[in-house]
Structure 1
Amino acid sequence: MRFEKLSNQSPTDLILSTWSSLRDTYESTFKNTKFDDFMLALRDGIQKGEITEETLSDRRLEHIAHNQLSAMYPFLYACVLNDLAQQTLDSGNKDASWPLIVEASASAADAATHAFYNAEIDIPAALRHQKALAGAVARDAKFQRAKDYAITLMTEKRPKLGWLDLKHASQSIEKELGEFIESERMSLSKLRLVNTLKRWYETDKRFKDSVNAIITNT
């Protein structure tokens, strides 16, 4: 689909469009520096053999291994390819320029996308939040058996007139629940089970609804 859309434009127009995208990405990412100066340094590095296919390959591996959200590698790759596309087109080899043009355009689009999200979103904070959320979900799943057993105990030990409140129910099942948690080697304090049950009641709707169905006055 990308090639079909690009093929409706001339190679020159496509190369210019990619340069425009790269310039916008550069200027939005690197304040108070000039894209033209960057390109002069890049071309100089290529001519001196400091930037080679091997260099780009190393950058790509580093990008994949350490920071796939960074715009740096797709930006650099697009600059190199677009420059090669222009050189190939200038030499009169239009057919050979097309693969370079398409790849440069795609890489420039990736760079622009990464730059936008890095500018608009605190990526490290978002990843920390995602990791913390995943940890919370894992902990909840781990403690679900204790919650289920607490509900079972509240049901089995429920007085004829019902529990007075959550505290009454929690204190009455504390010993048996503590023994279950110890046997299952769960990282929960046996000394604070009443507070733990109260926290679950406040934060876990499913647990709260189950407790409310057992206790007559909560």
Structure 2
Amino acid sequence: MSEELPDTAERKMQFLYALRSKGVTDKRVLSAMEKIDRGPFIRGYFSGRAYEDMPLPIACGQTISQPSIVGLMTQALRLSPRDKVLEVGTGSGYQAAILSQLARRVYTIDRHRRLVQDASVIFQQLDLTNITALTADGSFGLPDQAPFDRILVTAAAEDPPGPLLAQLKIGGIMVVPVGQSDTVQRLIRVIRHETGYDYDELRPVRFVPLIEGLGRDTA
């Protein structure tokens, strides 16, 4: 055990350095990403690569985003401790776990029941009691809990989905990848105002598509 600890500590230091070098500079975001270990969210063959800044495959044909993108998207939300957040696309649960350290309440939804169940087990193990994970069609958001202070979408849509825009509070922020293919996508920050929406293009990204309906394991 004593031989593993220095190696793990070194990998975590390199992990945080990589985040900073990619533009994740918000101290609260870095602190959350230091506290939430990526390791438990990656299983099987790729578990040894948890501290590398790269996306990795998970169940149901989905991926866990590279940590620097998780950090940059979280930073773009400009979270405050009182915020109620909706995450569309639970995936591994890693992003929701990061959000839970920075917001009052996180609702995370995914079309794949298996992903929601697996993530919920990890949330329980880590005692993350302010996360509610649900199986639902993310393209329609979660109207029963709306409005939200912040919305984070971890799958790419052709345009920011209308139902999600409608569930954003006045003054609220949504971060969403937008693009018509998996090769040309842009990360967009949307801010809702009394009279409409402001759109801010942040950076090129690559995400799985946002698909309507529930997964085969759910339907």
Instruction: Report the TM range for the smaller structure's normalisation.
Output: under 0.3
User: Which structure has the larger Rg over C-alpha atoms?
Assistant: 1
Structure with bigger strand share is 2
Structure with bigger helix share is 1
